[in-house]
Amino acid sequence: MTAMSRFALKIEYDGGPFHGWQRQPDLTSVQGSIEQALAKIDPTSPLLAAAGRTDTGVHANGQVAHVDLARDWDAHSLMGALNYHLKPNPIAIVEAAEVSEDFHARFSATERHYVFRLISRRAPTVHDIGKAWQVRHELNVELMRKGASYLIGQHDFTTFRAIGCQAKSPIKNLDMLDITEHTYPGGVEYRFHVRARSFLHNQVRSFVGTLERVGAGSWTPEKVNDALALRNRAACGTVSPPHGLYLDHVVYPEDPFF
């Protein structure tokens, strides 16, 4: 039996053209596109395992996946070969590294970091169409930060969980939800930096959509806490669109790319 070599891949992609990360019959996905490229360089048609599945329209700056290959590639050559075969898809392998057989992109991860981009400006966006959520009204960042403070820590997040979520428990520990302001031509960009070991389906988008209502003045910050305590999906505010969300970084006990 031929020994396999395991490689970790750090992946960047524009989620707009894809039906999410996960391979699906007859639909274009990020995973399926990379696996097609892998099949061109490895006769075993290897399959990927990823740190997390992103939904349709969600982007990634630092998705991580691992794959077992029959050939013992040089990591730099592997990255170049995959990027060649991925053209013209908006996907890039930005780092590759050989790892031990006990490394698992999903189960070895200790934290996942997401960033959500929300732009407040009256004029239409041009360069960020499909890359950020735009609203045309002003937002109060201090009110949004106060509302976000109620979500930090361990809670039952049923209110901020998609109805079809397959997680075994709605109880999660949210380590960080910070909101930063950035000057944007004609307005302001707000970036929501969210960190936890794992997330429920649509949890981040539910947070952002609810906090946007706080920033717009439709909700008080305290109403976020009330909604959390109700443990009822109907109490959630607006669910933000997927195109503002980025899987930004995945943390492991030992960085496979260091």
CA distance 140 to 212: 9
CATH of residue 205: 3.30.70.660
Q: What's the mean pLDDT in 9-28?
A: 96
User: What would the pLDDT profile of 43-57 be if each residue is shown by its tens digit?
Assistant: 888 999 999 999 999
| Average confidence score pLDDT of the chain | 96
**pLDDT for 229 beyond 60:** yes
Q: Quick one: what percent of the chain has pLDDT higher than 90?
A: 93
Question: pTM here?
Answer: 0.96
Considering the domain architecture, whether residues 76 and 53 belong to the same structural domain is answered as yes
257 assigned to some structural domain: no
Listed residues 70, 90, 108: the one ending a domain: 108
Q: How many residues belong to the chain? A: 258
Residues 127 and 244 in one domain: yes
Range of the domain at 177: 111-249
Residues 141 and 239 in one domain: yes
Across the range 113-129, mean pLDDT stands at 97
Contact of 120 with 188, CB cutoff 8 Å: yes
Q: Give the strand pairing for 171-184 and 187-196.
A: antiparallel
Residue 2's pLDDT band (cuts 50, 70, 90) = low
Boundary residue ending a domain (108, 142, 165): 108
143-160 confidence digits (pLDDT tens): 999 999 999 999 999 999
Residue 245 sits in the same domain as residue 120: yes
What the block records as the tokens of 192 is: 């929501």
What is the total count of domains within the chain? 2
Q: Which of 55, 68, 156, 175 is catalytic?
A: 55
- Domain assignment present for 161: yes
Spatial neighbors of 195 by CB under 8 A, at least 6 apart, are 111, 112, 113, 114, 174, 175, 176, 177
- Map tokens 């990591």 to a residue: 75
Q: Say yes or no to pLDDT of 1 above 80.
A: no
Residue 72 bears catalytic tag: no
Q: 72-104 pLDDT, tens per residue?
A: 899 999 999 999 999 999 999 999 999 999 999
Identify which of 48, 61, 58, 113 has the alpha carbon closest to the alpha carbon of residue 92.
Answer: 61
CB-CB contact of 51 with 106 (8 Å) = yes
Asked if residue 254 belongs to a domain, the reply is no
Residues 21-33 have a mean pLDDT of 95
140 and 201, same domain (yes or no) = yes
| Helix (H), strand (E) at residue 212 | helix 203-215
171 pLDDT band (50/70/90 cuts)?
A: very high
How far apart CA 157 and CA 231 sit, in angstroms, is 7
Q: Is residue 39 part of a domain?
A: yes
